[in-house]
Structure 1
Amino acid sequence: MFSSSDDSLSSDSEVLEIPFISRYRAGVYECTASNDIAVDTQTVELTVNYPPSVSDGRDVGVTLGQRGVLQCEADAVPEADFEWYRDDRRIFNGFDGIEIEDSGALSKLTFYNVSEADYGNYTCVAINKLGSANTSIILYGKLQ
């Protein structure tokens, strides 16, 4: 007999069929076999792969000369890789004093000394083997 950890799926046979699988079905499933002599239980972790989806970008206002951080968050399995663009030009870590730091589902684009030339529209692209998604973020000037 199979059942999931939240008991929303079960089967009384040796097979658990999950039609129309979605990311929400990922998790730990338990299989229990029993007879008159003993009971044995095994657990299986089910991973569901899906393409990235990104949170809407939040525009950021920064005063000239200050530090500015643009953030991009993606939900994906396998975990997404990130790319940043200004207009159609890809930005790389260390480019024009910009630092890109990826940590799990979050990517940060940091400007340590914002100049007038830094203001504008930036695009974050999250990519895995199943697809990609993007969001735009505007870095704009803010008065002190």
Structure 2
Amino acid sequence: MRRLAAADDAGMAALLLQRFFREEGFTTPDETILANLHKMLKMEHCAVLLAENAEEAVGVATVSMDFGIEYGWSAELGDLYVLPRHRGRGIARQLIGAAEDWLRGMGATGYQVTVTPHGADADLRRFYLSLGFEDERRALLYRML
């Protein structure tokens, strides 16, 4: 488990994120994912975490911090993906643990995660609730600029 730096080769993280977006049904072009990944790697208040075994990269997580009146420094776990053949081995929990360690070090008070309809179908809501996340019953609305 490691946090990628701007100087690191982000190829495996990009491939995992592109695969994640396709599986979730998002239409974000691969070039956009790659460009934003490289931008994220240069940002102090963002982290890209990569889970690897001896042979390959098996999972990725991204975290972005935000400052607001309600919580001060908080964050969003934007992406969490583990290759299907490696699921059920605690890799997602390890990625979340690494994200939480990094967030604590950055002074964050907490973080949120968005469960998409595809994720809800895969029972991710229950997974996140089992990790201590709480459903605040807030709706997430988004507007493209």
Q: Give the TM interval when normalised to the shorter protein.
A: under 0.3
Q: By percentage of residues, which structure has more strand?
A: 1
* TM-score of the pair, normalised by structure 2: 0.22
Structure in which a larger fraction of residues adopt helix: 2
> Which has the greater radius of gyration?
1
Q: With structure 1 as the length reference, what TM-score do the two structures score? A: 0.22
> Which structure carries more relative contact order (alpha carbon 8 Å, separation 6+)?
1
